[in-house]
């Protein structure tokens, strides 16, 4: 019997504090490993461990950190998070180095950086990713949101395009494209 996706979506939590999210590290690493280790993403197991030990704690301490978690029967089945991106941070500086000056001036600095979104592959195709996306972006004080995602025809880039994100810079690197969302005109 399939879990009730509607009930899963209703059981989402928004945590504005990194400390709360860090208490879920093992669950988030499990979902990350399942989602990004799946075919098409093919990340090695070490990437999930690095996510839990280095990336998540660093990001959870950033200004404007926000995380949304989806549960099914109490079990974490998906999450999305981001924070306020700014110059002096690795991702923002990396994009600024490859983007046109006009794009940098318009989009970077003080933006909301959607960093990760993952749904357990067994729960994909039920609207959980869309619900995580929309809940994460509700009532943000930022003017713009930014992300990089896979260039291939995978679920994430399709979801972002459906939700109004625009392609700003193709081929940021060998696997990803840069997308932006004007939060002033978006009503998730």
Known catalytic residues are: 160
- In angstroms and rounded to an integer, the radius of gyration of the C-alpha atoms of the chain is 16
Distances (CA, A) of 117 to 3, 96, 102, 185: 20, 23, 28, 22
Instruction: Count the alpha carbons within 13 Å of 97 in the hemisphere toward its beta carbon.
Output: 9
Whole-number Å distance between alpha carbons of 60 and 113: 13
| Cβ–Cβ < 8 Å for 125, 157 | no
Q: Coil, strand or helix: which one is 48?
A: helix
Helical spans, DSSP H, in the chain: 5-10, 18-22, 25-36, 45-50, 56-60, 90-98, 101-107, 128-137, 155-162
């Amino acid at each position: 019997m399939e879990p009730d996706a509607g009930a899963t979506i209703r059981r989402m939590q928004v945590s504005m504090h990194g400390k709360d999210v860090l208490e879920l590290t093992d669950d988030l690493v499990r979902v990350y490993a399942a989602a990004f280790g799946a075919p098409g993403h093919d990340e090695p197991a070490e990437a999930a461990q690095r996510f839990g030990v280095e990336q998540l704690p660093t990001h959870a301490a950033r200004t404007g950190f926000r995380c949304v978690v989806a549960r099914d029967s109490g079990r974490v089945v998906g999450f999305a998070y981001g924070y306020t991106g700014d110059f002096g941070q690795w991702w923002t500086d990396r994009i600024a180095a490859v983007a046109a000056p006009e794009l940098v001036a318009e989009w970077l600095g003080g933006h909301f950086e959607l960093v990760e979104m993952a749904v357990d592959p067994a729960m994909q195709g039920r609207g959980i990713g869309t619900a995580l996306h929309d809940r994460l972006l509700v009532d943000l004080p930022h003017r713009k949101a930014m992300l990089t995602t896979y260039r291939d025809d995978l679920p994430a880039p399709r979801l972002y395009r459906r939700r109004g994100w625009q392609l700003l810079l193709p081929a940021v690197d060998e696997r990803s494209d840069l997308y932006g969302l004007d939060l002033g005109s978006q009503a998730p």
